[in-house]
Amino acid sequence: MKTLVIVSHPYPEQSKAIQALEQAARQVEGVEVRNLETLYGHDTFAFDVAAEQKASEAADRIVFLFPIHWFNLTPMLKGYLNQVWGYGWAFGPGGAALKGKAMQVVVTAGATDHLYAPQGLIQSTIEDVLTPMKASALYVGMTYRKPLAFLGAMGLRDDKLAELQSTFGELLQPGQ
């Protein structure tokens, strides 16, 4: 199974958790890692659409790795969906390039499961927050894997970051 990891973080210089997870992904053989801000800066229209589509076509599993900011996708990840998942490629007449592939969302979030609870302040789980990714996956015929969410992922010590890396590294193994 071939895995593509699409990483996005709007403030790479401040990132600890996503950066550690990206590093872990780069250690796994056979995994292609594409960091949207590294490749395209912060320009939500700058994508090399053909290159991105080709990378997705070659993968069986597409992993999206990003931090939760205001209970949402990052701007570059939203731009990626807008620009790369085009009509006629991902959906519409003749467009089924992603059909049958798996989507795996992996996020970090500052808050803990006290906040991400149906009875909590935001009355939403992390799965609820990620509904746009689930809907997008199902809309284009992908299978949607249970998201991997690292909650309370702020100010983590190195040993905890290493734990996150190991969990993510395992998920990226070909058989997973």
Ligand X SMILES: Cc1cc2nc3c(=O)[nH]c(=O)nc-3n(C[C@H](O)[C@H](O)[C@H](O)COP(=O)(O)O)c2cc1C
Sites of contact with ligand X (CB under 6 A): 9, 14-19, 67-71, 108-111, 153-154
Q: Comparing C-alpha atoms, which of 122, 129, 123 is closest to residue 66?
A: 129
What is the smallest separation between the CB atom of 119 and ligand X, expressed in angstroms? 17
Beta carbon nearer to ligand X, 34 or 141? 34
Which two three-digit tokens encode residue 142? 């992908």
Beta carbon nearer to ligand X, 26 or 54? 26
Beta carbon nearer to ligand X, 93 or 118? 118
What is the smallest separation between the CB atom of 35 and ligand X, expressed in angstroms? 12
Q: How far is CA 100 from CA 97, 144, 148, 157, in A?
A: 9, 10, 20, 38
What is the smallest separation between the CB atom of 116 and ligand X, expressed in angstroms? 7
Q: Using CB atoms within 10 Å of the CB of residue 100, give its burial: 0 to 12 exposed, 13 to 18 middle, 19+ buried.
A: exposed
Contact yes or no for 139/98 (Cβ under 8 A):
no
Beta carbon nearer to ligand X, 95 or 167? 167
What is the smallest separation between the CB atom of 109 and ligand X, expressed in angstroms? 3
Q: Which residue is nearest to ligand X (CB)?
A: 110
Which two three-digit tokens encode residue 8? 């996005």
